[in-house]
Amino acid sequence: MPSGLELIQLVSNLAIPILVALFGLLLLRKGAHIKTEIAKQSEFKSKWVDQFFECGHVSSAATTFMKTIERTLAGLVWITKNSGKKDYTDLEKQINDYVFQLSELELRIRRSVVFAPKTGDAADRAANECIQLVSSLLQTKSDDLDEIIEAMKKFNHAFRYAHAEMLGV
């Protein structure tokens, strides 16, 4: 019959590997849980980034935003340069539709830039500046596009940085 000290030593020799194995299993389970949570968060963020970049099947929010500004300005310039030659009621209705679409796209951009906390505000401000300048040009019926072109450049840069931040690049 082993003595008390030998019995304690035998139990500890058996218990330590069992405890280490249990601890290892707990760590593996916790690691798997953390990995799953990270994957879920990453997938969620990825969907938002895609939504920020992809609006519809073909073009991005920025591309659609820019094309809509270009169409609005092209219509405005056309009406301004050909004023009095023809009735442009249909084109004016189309421009109003573009202005509504710009507001919708600005809201989509504003909602999405929350995932770019460092650079998203700049994209939001640049989009807002573009819309303000478009509104101003529509009111004045001017064909001076230099200021709006500069604002569009700012928007492109700000959008690119916000998108890169969302991607973690």
Percent of the chain at pLDDT > 90 equals 22
Averaged pLDDT score across all residues of the chain = 81
Between 109 and 129, residue with greater pLDDT:
129
Indicate whether 122 pLDDT > 80.
yes
Per-residue pLDDT band for 69 (boundaries 50, 70, 90) equals very high
Per-residue pLDDT band for 98 (boundaries 50, 70, 90) equals very high
| 13 membership: H or E segment, kind and range | helix 4-53
pLDDT for the residue numbered 152: 92
pLDDT for the residue numbered 127: 92
DSSP 169: -
Per-residue pLDDT band for 59 (boundaries 50, 70, 90) equals very low
pLDDT for the residue numbered 115: 81
As a whole number, mean pLDDT of residues 158-164 equals 86
Of 27-41, 100-114, 150-164, minimum mean pLDDT range: 27-41
As a whole number, mean pLDDT of residues 89-95 equals 89
Which residues in 39-158 belong to E strands, given as ranges?
Answer: none
Instruction: Count other Cβ atoms within 10 Å, centred on residue 1.
Output: 4
Query: Which residues lie below 8 Å from residue 157, measured CB to CB, with a gap of 6+?
Result: 126
pLDDT for the residue numbered 121: 92
As a whole number, mean pLDDT of residues 108-112 equals 83
Instruction: Count other Cβ atoms within 10 Å, centred on residue 151.
Output: 20
* CA–CA gap between residue 101 and residue 68 (Å, rounded): 7
Indicate whether 39 pLDDT > 80.
no
Would the pTM count as exceeding 0.95?
Answer: no
The first and second tokens of residue 98, run together, are: 């573009």
